[in-house]
Amino acid sequence: MFKKILIANRGEIAVRIMRTCREMGLKTVAVYSEADAAALHVLEADQAVFLGPSEPAQSYLNAQGLIKAALDTGAEAVHPGYGFLAENAEFAEACEKAGLVFVGPPGPVIRDLGNKTVARKIMNAANVPVIPGMMTTSTDPLVLAQEAEKIGYPVIIKAEAGGGGKGMRIVSDRAALEETVISCRSEAEKAFGNGALYLEKHLRRPRHIEFQILADHHGKVIHLFERECSIQRRHQKIIEETPSPLMTPDLRQRMGQAAVAAAKASGYRNAGTVEFLVDQDGRFYFLEVNTRLQVEHPITEMTTGKDLVREQIAIAWGDPLSFTQEEIGQQGHALECRIYAEDPEADFFPSPGQILFLQEPSGPGVRNDCGIYSGFEVPVEYDPILSKLIVHGPNREAARQRMIRALEHYAILGIRTTIPFLVDVLRSPAFTRGETYTDFIDCHFPTWKQSEETAPLAALAYGIDELISGGRKPERMINKGIPSPWETLGPWRMGKP
Amino acid sequence: MKYELRIGAKTFGVEIEESGKARTVNAKVDDHQWPVSYQAVSPNALHFEVNEEAVRAYLARKNGEKHIFINGRGYVVSEKHFQSGKGRTKKKWEDSPGEVTPPMPSVVVRILIEEGHWVEKGQGLIVVSAMKMETTLKAPIAGEVVKINTALQAKVMPGDLLVEIKEGTKEDE
């Protein structure tokens, strides 16, 4: 097995990967930018290497800097996490060329699947159903307008190199097409360095269901069941669950087979996710393959009992899969809520700033994959994800209640977060009934304001706190009482167990 | 002690009196009055019982405001007359409906209009980017663009007036 791995990422996912590495007895190397000098992932690693300025292009996207950091520290493998260079074929190839093992699929597979129109062609050839639409791309608004007429409105604009909702918009009529195309092109150029776009028919009220797959270097491909990711805002998932409330054993079997076929058709290796849209009639269509560990992978871990990062590392080392399709079961129900630094009262606009106080929830069946701590300054340069709260329960309703309980005791003070909004979504009758479609938020929460039923209690708390703290300097209220990671992580960073 | 507190657009009158018993006060919020027993769990966590209900409040202070979290709800509480002293004056929308300001620190990536243009209410004016997300600032009213106070790649803050619009329609001229 490897002795040392470099984690080419930041935030909660870097911390999560390091935890498994520690359990496997592997040394970890963190990388960081100026803005992240005191970030949690830096404190969690055995070693940390400074990459450069906060601007992603000069730090977490700097492939040569990352490879040099790995070689300098004697790391044998690079885990890319998600985002940044995780789905960058050139980076995967550059790692291999430098003698480093890239924990993910081979470069050419990432390239094929990352190019959404090439992926559509591969799946079409393998008889995996694809959404009606273009098989080629364009940057020309007029060409795209002609294609849209052929497909029929509403259409969805997508970036060839897409992911995370960047460069992606729904257009319902001809009038809005041109301006939207220009906006998507610019967003795609910035996010992926590739402004090429294509169109698909926009399905009405689909569900977003994806299958986790694992493929080893010995020709074995299995799936670890589905994840339902329909609750989205701005095409980014915010709540995920497994099993899907929609799923029937028959549909699960057919979609699982399609996912495995998709992986085999593309020559897939390591962990990946095959995403599908399922329409109102229960027909499913291939959407894309995410050639990396997904943000929402923990819900699969909770219901299957497998550590996906451990499996990724074992596969990268060359081990055959240690279990068969038949040996994997789904137990209970898991939910994940993404905690973003965003203001849900202001159209989910980003809300960076300093965390004045953090209280993580705990208790049975609760897992918090977290990248922040009290006193941490959330940078404006990166994605607004702070943490992921995951719960596991014997069934959907128990998991839902558990998630509400955990969210209600998850205090992140100093910035706006999605927590109060998530509580209301989980409590809503539509979510409780499992009516999760991708337009869920537009339908049920088009505008949202926090209810103020506990505002008088907050006023009361203010008064009592004044009484208790009378004369205490305000600054003393920040960052005291609960030990910060600086204090708790200090001793064992010195290399002593 | 008496406080006039502001939470969002609402104000609350709060009175706290020592009861003579340890960690128990008589509290009044607007027209409601209760005995309240409390326990400071830590400087950032306060437990209290009011009206036979146990409440766990998490608190932090910054710049004269208290950030308070109770049962999944977050509040920023301050004394009524407290002014957040950040130097820049954030103009109230009602006072100046034709002024366009970004909702948070961001960078201007596109300017969609020019001075002298007539715009419709809701028309896109300026595109800003923050935390990798692009947002189009839209015209709050219909009218003439009288001033653009920003440029491409400028770093802008809430309160900065990026565009000023004079209300009206072209036909009024």
- Which domain CATH number covers A35? 3.40.50.20
CB spacing of A457 vs B131 below 8 angstroms = no
- Please report, rounded to a whole number, the percentage of residues in chain A having pLDDT higher than 90: 83
CB spacing of A457 vs B103 below 8 angstroms = no
- Reported as a single tens digit per residue, the pLDDT across A92-140 is 999 999 999 999 999 999 999 988 899 999 999 999 999 999 999 999 9
CATH number at residue B123: 2.40.50.100
- Among A183, A201, A219, the domain-final residue is A201
Residue ranges of chain B whose pLDDT lies below 70: 84-96, 172-173
Please provide the DSSP assignment of A342-397 as one string: EEGGGTTEE--EE--EEE---STTEEEEE---TT-EE-SSS--EEEEEEEEESSHH
Is A472 tagged catalytic?
no
Judgement on whether residues A154 and A36 belong to the same structural domain of the protein: no
For residue A480, what pLDDT band results from cuts at 50, 70 and 90? very low
Which residue is catalytic, options A120, A233, A292, A396? A292
Residue B84: what pLDDT? 61
- Among A201, A229, A255, the domain-final residue is A201
Place of tokens 């990422």: A9
Closest CA–CA distance from residue A82 to any residue of chain B (Å): 15
A493 in any annotated domain: no
CA-nearest of A439, A434, A430 to A202 is: A439
A160 in any annotated domain: yes
Residue in A384, A462, A481 nearest the CB of B5: A462
Q: Is the peptide bond before A53 cis (omega within 30 degrees of 0)?
A: no
Residues 6+ positions from A152 with CB-CB distance below 8 Å: A201
A123 in any annotated domain: no
The model carries a pTM of 0.85
Judgement on whether residues A306 and A440 belong to the same structural domain of the protein: yes
Please name the residue of chain A whose CA is at the shortest distance from the CA of residue B38.
A464
Q: Contact at 8 Å (CB) between A93 and A64?
A: no
| Chain A residues 336-395 with CB within 8 Å of chain B | 341, 343, 346-347, 349-352, 354, 356-357, 359, 380-384
Give one word for A221, left, alpha or beta, with left for phi > 0 and alpha for psi -120 to 50.
beta
For residue A85, what pLDDT band results from cuts at 50, 70 and 90? very high
Q: Contact at 8 Å (CB) between B27 and B15?
A: yes
Judgement on whether residues A335 and A424 belong to the same structural domain of the protein: yes
Q: 3-class secondary structure for chain B?
A: CEEEEEECCEEEEEEEEECCCCCEEEEEECCEEEEEEEEEEECCEEEEEECCEEEEEEEEEECCEEEEEECCEEEEEEECCCCCCCCCCCCCCCCCCCEECCCCCEEEEEECCCCCCEECCCCEEEEEEECCEEEEEECCCCEEEEEECCCCCCEECCCCCCEEEEECCHHHC
Closest CA–CA distance from residue A99 to any residue of chain B (Å): 33
Average pLDDT for residues A233-246, to the nearest whole number?
91
CA-nearest of B45, B163, B57 to B113 is: B163
Judgement on whether residues B108 and B161 belong to the same structural domain of the protein: yes
Cα A104 to Cα B87: distance, rounded to the nearest angstrom: 49
Average pLDDT for residues A11-30, to the nearest whole number?
98
Q: Which domain holds residue A76?
A: 4-102
- Reported as a single tens digit per residue, the pLDDT across A317-351 is 999 999 999 999 999 999 999 999 999 998 888 88
Kindly tell me if the per-residue pLDDT of A473 is higher than 60: no
Q: Is A476 on the interface with B (CB under 8 A)?
A: yes
Cα A131 to Cα A275: distance, rounded to the nearest angstrom: 12
CB spacing of A465 vs B46 below 8 angstroms = yes
Judgement on whether residues A417 and A452 belong to the same structural domain of the protein: yes
Judgement on whether residues B164 and B121 belong to the same structural domain of the protein: yes
Kindly tell me if the per-residue pLDDT of A493 is higher than 80: no
Instruction: Give the pair of three-digit tokens for residue B149.
Output: 């106070």
* N residues, chain B: 173
Using an 8 Å CB-CB cutoff, list chain B residues near A420. 72-74
Cα A92 to Cα A106: distance, rounded to the nearest angstrom: 7
Judgement on whether residues A456 and A427 belong to the same structural domain of the protein: yes
Residue B28: what pLDDT? 96
The 8-class DSSP code of residue A77 comes to E
Strand partners, A370: A387
Closest CA–CA distance from residue B121 to any residue of chain A (Å): 16
Cα B40 to Cα A104: distance, rounded to the nearest angstrom: 49
Q: Contact at 8 Å (CB) between A156 and A202?
A: yes
Residues 6+ positions from A112 with CB-CB distance below 8 Å: A118, A119, A122, A266
CATH number at residue A287: 3.30.470.20
Q: Which domain holds residue B131?
A: 96-168
Strands A4-7, A77-79: pairing kind: parallel
Please name the residue of chain B whose CA is at the shortest distance from the CA of residue A378.
B131
Kindly tell me if the per-residue pLDDT of A286 is higher than 90: yes
CB spacing of B12 vs A350 below 8 angstroms = no
Judgement on whether residues A194 and A223 belong to the same structural domain of the protein: no
When mean pLDDT is compared across A90-94, A357-361, A486-490, B107-111, the lowest value belongs to A486-490
B90 in any annotated domain: no
CB spacing of B67 vs A413 below 8 angstroms = yes
Cα A8 to Cα A78: distance, rounded to the nearest angstrom: 7
**Higher-confidence position of B113 and A497:** B113
Cα A228 to Cα A237: distance, rounded to the nearest angstrom: 10
CB spacing of B131 vs A341 below 8 angstroms = yes
Q: Contact at 8 Å (CB) between A215 and A254?
A: no
Residue B173: what pLDDT? 58
Strand partners, A4: A27
Q: Is the peptide bond before A243 cis (omega within 30 degrees of 0)?
A: yes
Judgement on whether residues B19 and B50 belong to the same structural domain of the protein: yes
Q: Contact at 8 Å (CB) between B8 and A452?
A: yes
The 8-class DSSP code of residue A202 comes to P
Q: How many domains does chain A have?
A: 3
Judgement on whether residues A255 and A337 belong to the same structural domain of the protein: yes
CB spacing of A407 vs B62 below 8 angstroms = no
Kindly tell me if the per-residue pLDDT of A491 is higher than 80: no
